[in-house]
Structure 1
Amino acid sequence: MRAVAIPVPGGPENLAVEPRPVPQPAPGEVLVQVAAAGVNRPDVLQRKGLYPPPPGASDIPGLEIAGTVAAAGDGAEHLLGQRVCALVTGGGYAEYCLAPSGTCLPIPEVLSPVQAAAMPETLFTVWINLFERGFAADGDAVLVHGGTSGIGTMAIRLGSLFGLTVIVTCGSAAKCDAALKLGATHAIDYSAQDFVAEVAHLTAGRGVAVVLDMVGGDYLPRNLQCLADDGRHVSIAFQRGPAAEIPIPDIMRRRLILTGSTLRGRDLAYKTMVADELARTVWPYVEGNRLTPVIDSTFPLEAAADAHRRMESGQHIGKIVLTT
């Protein structure tokens, strides 16, 4: 099979298409003939040598796929021949990829393979962090940074379905307009506005119940200023740095909760549990064509380097997807 490898860490030009043996499914696994694979920022970090795969995972990048089950290990035979999308720990940038049966979700007729491949990583991430760790509930106001990223656009779409007031930050007026068209309640242009002051204004001084943050660094203390009493701050990345100085007395006085998570290294039992929750609570919206991902662009497998350049440019709105 053809697969995108990283012979040497570095820039996008270091991605190389090379032949690899087709993997064989172990018990509980399926072999998916990949039609499309989502591109995510962890793939970029892995390419740079900053995010190695967890033990036992493929060295091929790619954390979400869509396609048809071509073979199945013991206990996963019921998925043979089915169209599925799946969360994987690696291997997605290839013509075939192994996936645990527990993280597979059926692709409804209303979704194309490209749309389906853009769902698992962002859907799992937003569900776990905004709703499970952040306890966002109907009527809550939430602040999501990176409003036009894959995570941001999924948070807008999912938050709108579950009754949230979704406030996002974006890097330009054009991106703010795009976020509002996608369903964000409010969009703040952080290049021209102070998002702390804007959140205070938009919430009449109350603040938001949850901040979903992928920025980190000096944003963290500013994020805390945006939280209402008993608010929750959820970290999922730290693009502006891994360290911050925070006011401990303010956290105590306002009973704030600081939490966060990573997904790739979590055990299969946990990911299967989340997939089951999504199948029950969110997938009916997908099947009813009420929840679809925002697709920015698609690239053939051979142009994975261009897909990474597109992501690193920061110009994308929604998901970037590779096709085989």
Structure 2
Amino acid sequence: MEKQTITIYDVAREANVSMATVSRVVNGNPNVKPATRKKVLEVIDRLDYRPNAVARGLASKKTTTVGVIIPDVTNMFFSSLARGIDDVATMYKYNIILANSDENSQKEVQVLNTLLAKQVDGLIYMGHEISDNVRAEFSRSKTPIVLAGSVDPDEQVGSVNIDYVAAVEEATARLIKTGNKQVALVTGPLTQPINGEYRLQGYKQALAKAGLAYDESLVFETEASYHAGLGLFKQVQKSGATAAIAGDDELAVGLLDAAIDAGVKVPTDFELITSNNTKLTEMARPQLTSIDQPLYDIGAVAMRLLTKMMNKEDIDAKTVRLGFDITARQSTK
């Protein structure tokens, strides 16, 4: 037997009240007598009535849905951010539609348009780079947008992150201090502002302060994956580097495992600092020293900033910088 859809009309008829009253009860409007509210809730319960979110969205022009664009749902960096986003969304009664963009700018535009077509009230974007096409879509759309764990050098879009320049500078300085004259920077494409403008700048500043020359052959661009790290270690070793900073934890574990496979002792012969302090840093042996950015908080604060934008509340600053630490483990001296 096909399940009949129970409408607001059925609830009103059963409870012997107007549809407006049912609507008030469902939307938590206080202007309903307690006895009436109780009666309506009992009928809703008995009939198993579920308000149609689409119909409610059409009436109020709000869908209470937020789109979240994530480059790689399997990477722990993004999944940790997503937890923070989801918890705050639930608190403010927003639903989330999660979409994977595969760090591919064509697909990002597609995914963006699909979410906007679903009439989402707001968007959280986690890509490492805002391509010109994506930026054009952002400015065309009236939908509020916040970046989580990502940067907009033009600061046109709201964003929540840490000071990546200062974080990488501090990590590099730490490796120079333990006697490494040649420190490699192994990170994603330098075309991405987070790498090319922020991490690279922090790296260069640390070298300059220590009186070391910047050497391009110590900078490696790769993808944020375990296999990339595994395949790249030999080249890093060939460059003469005795230490490295990795822009991603999976990448760092790849470098670590390849070093161990090659008989290189970590941290005695080679030191390593990674960037995201996800669970991987503690699963690896030796455990990895990492820049510690509060991933869950970045996600939570981004979602809270978005709720303010969606409700047109006053905002102190569109760019929110959270603090970071460096958590020392066994991959450094």
Higher-Rg structure is: 2
TM exceeding 0.5 = no
Greater strand share, 1 or 2?
Answer: 1
More helix by share: 2
